[in-house]
Amino acid sequence: QQQVKQSPQSLIVQKGGISIINCAYENTAFDYFPWYQQFPGKGPALLIAIRPDVSEKKEGRFTISFNKSAKQFSLHIMDSQPGDSATYFCAARSLNDYKLSFGAGTTVTVRA
Amino acid sequence: DGGITQSPKYLFRKEGQNVTLSCEQNLNHDAMYWYRQDPGQGLRLIYYSQIVNDFQKGDIAEGYSVSREKKESFPLTVTSAQKNPTAFYLCATGGRDRGAEKLFFGSGTQLSVL
């Protein structure tokens, strides 16, 4: 049973557009929410992360929005570029055992 | 990538065979992890180790075994008891406990059944 539900499974966006990926969770013991980016044939790499005491975090073209009361968080990729084409995983870390639970992943394709 | 080396990149398993996936790191990280990646299912934790000579089962440990005899190495054996072993296997490292906020992943091993 997946503890972090991620949607959509895939999305296609035009170059310069905005990509939005959503994640939801139920476990109130989660205290840290990272996003990982994975290119084909490679391992994931940490992209950006947020803690629940902050509602938004921005790094370059990537922004995490966090809604603690709704137990939801999302990744926005502004001005999407072909090089952003990858699979994105949201995750959540439990305060109880520090293990990460990953979402199912979203494959983003940016068309030039 | 970087200081984590997984080998081989591709591996084929015959029926009833045990196979071992290698993971070596030079990042001096205490914690090491094995994840299994299947299309549409994200990353699922198989085993993890926070210190040498100690390891814990993750969410899908059945049919797998590990050892942690050295800080740098955390090999994963896929046993014949794992009936559906075809997947992309990822090794990761990080700090211990709260320090494990950033995981570093290797480039993975694709295991297929002949």
**pLDDT tens, position by position, B18-66:** 999 999 999 999 999 999 999 888 899 999 999 999 999 999 999 999 9
The CA-to-CA distance between both ends of chain B, in Å, stands at 28
Give the span between the Cα atoms of B35 and B11, in whole angstroms.
16
Asked if pLDDT for residue B95 goes beyond 50, the answer is: yes
Measure A21 CA to nearest chain B CA, in Å: 14
Note the pLDDT of residue A93. Answer: 92
% pLDDT > 90, chain A: 89
B43 and chain A in contact, CB less than 8 A = yes
CB pairs under 8 A between A and B: 55
CA nearest to B91 within chain A: A43
Choose among B35, B44, B100: nearest Cβ to A98.
B100
- Which has the closest alpha carbon to A44: B25, B5, B92? B92
Note the pLDDT of residue B41. Answer: 84
Query: Given the structure tokens 């975090």, which residue do they identify?
Result: A57
Q: Which of B27, B32, B38, B43 should be substituted to probe chain A, the one whose Cβ sees the most A Cβ atoms within 10 Å?
A: B43
Note the pLDDT of residue B1. Answer: 47
Note the pLDDT of residue B2. Answer: 56
For residues A53-64, give the mean pLDDT: 96
B94 and chain A in contact, CB less than 8 A = no
Note the pLDDT of residue B16. Answer: 87
CA nearest to B38 within chain A: A104
Cβ pair A105:B42 closer than 8 A: yes
Task: Give bridge partners of residue A52 from the DSSP assignment.
Answer: none
